Structures are given as C-alpha cells and as structure tokens.
Amino acid sequence: MEFKNVILLHEDFLADFGFKLDNRSLYYVKGTPEGKQMVFFHHTQHEGGAYLEYHLGIRLEKVENIVHRFLPSLGDYKERSISLIETMDRIDPKMPRRFLIENDFETNEVIRKVEQFLVKKGFNFLDKVSDGTALEKYFNTDVTSPIVTQNFTYRSARGITLCKLYNPKNYEKTKKLYLNMLNEKQVTPFTLACFINLLDYLENL
C-alpha cells in the first residue's frame, strides 16, 4: 500500500478528534490556544516491506517565534518548526518505536494499534504538553535527560525560553545548568554566542 494511502486511512478517525490533514506536509494538525498539535508519519522502504513510524508533536507559537530569532534556520523553517516531537515508545513503553509492515493485512493491524494508542495515551499527552507550564517541566525537570528528536542546541534554546516564560523563579538556576552543559559538550563559539544572545533578549523582555 502506498504511503499516502496509509496516511489517508487515518483521516476520518483523526477528524473526529479535530485534526485535519496538511496536504503539503502530509501530517495531521489541530489548532490549540497557544499553537498547534500534530501527528506525523515516517515511512522507510525496507527489503520485503516498509518501516512506519508515528510521532506526536506540538508547537507553541510564542516559544518558536523567540528561539528562531537566535537559531540559524533555512527558508520558512521557523514558520514550520516544532517545539516538541515525541516517539510513541517514549509516551508509552509498551509501544514500539516503529512497525515493520510486509503486507496490507499488517497495515490494518498497525492502524488499529496506533489509533488505540492515540485514544488511550497519545491525545492526553498532546493535550498535557500543549500547556506551556507543563512543557516547561517536560524540558527542564532534568536537563540531562535527552529529547531524542532534537539536538541540544535547539533543546537548550527552547528549554530556557520556556523557563523564562512559564517558570521564571527557576530561570537563573536553569540558565546555569544549560550553560554548564553547553560548555561540557564543547559547542562551537557561534552556538554559544547564539545562546548568550537569546539570554540577553529574555532578560530584557
């Protein structure tokens, strides 16, 4: 079954929960008071079949509009950037990271499992982290815990911005943690300068 046809098989189900298909990017999107929620698909051909991955994402407009003043981004990426993307297995350890599909019968079974996951865990996760205060905790409760779908440059910029906006009493402590980790990772002088410029902006809001 073609990749786009697999995506379209979710259309009626996701429409019931307020999601619409973005035909240009081939993901489903739903507006929220602070931004949007997304359901993504990744399809990789494999000998004898294909791997299919589902990711859940959220965008907080205020956060993305600030961080992309100080992060290098190409074209209209800042208009499409995602504050957080998570894999199914990080939301529910009982779920696989991806599915291997070898025939159409398996496709239907995968769709059933994914839609069951979304109802039981996925939509609740999206609703929770669509709140800026909850997303700040997700990023900053343990800054050493990796977010596997974004590098530390983006994670640190989003994390400190979230902290300043939604948990300002912890800003100085969180700032020191991120600066220490950026130094430990021996990031380039350009990356460090971008982060320091971001700090200066946040501290003058």
What pLDDT does 105 receive?
A: 83
The pTM of the full predicted model, rounded to 2 decimals, is: 0.90
Amino acid at 116: Q
Amino acid at 55: H
Q: What averages of pLDDT result for each successive group of 10 residues across the chain (205 residues)?
A: 79 96 90 96 82 94 94 71 94 94 87 95 97 97 89 94 98 97 92 95 95
The Cα 85–Cα 127 span in angstroms is 13
What pLDDT does 103 receive?
A: 83
What pLDDT does 59 receive?
A: 97
What pLDDT does 121 receive?
A: 97
What pLDDT does 12 receive?
A: 95
What pLDDT does 183 receive?
A: 93
Question: Which ranges of the chain does DSSP label H, i.e. alpha helix?
Answer: 3-8, 11-15, 61-67, 77-80, 88-91, 104-117, 123-129, 132-140, 152-166, 171-184, 189-202
What pLDDT does 61 receive?
A: 95
What pLDDT does 3 receive?
A: 67
Contact 125, 85 (CB under 8 A): no
Contact 164, 195 (CB under 8 A): no
The Cα-based distances of 130 to 78, 79, 88, 124, 154 in angstroms read 18, 17, 17, 10, 18
What pLDDT does 87 receive?
A: 94
The Cα 149–Cα 90 span in angstroms is 11
Amino acid at 53: E
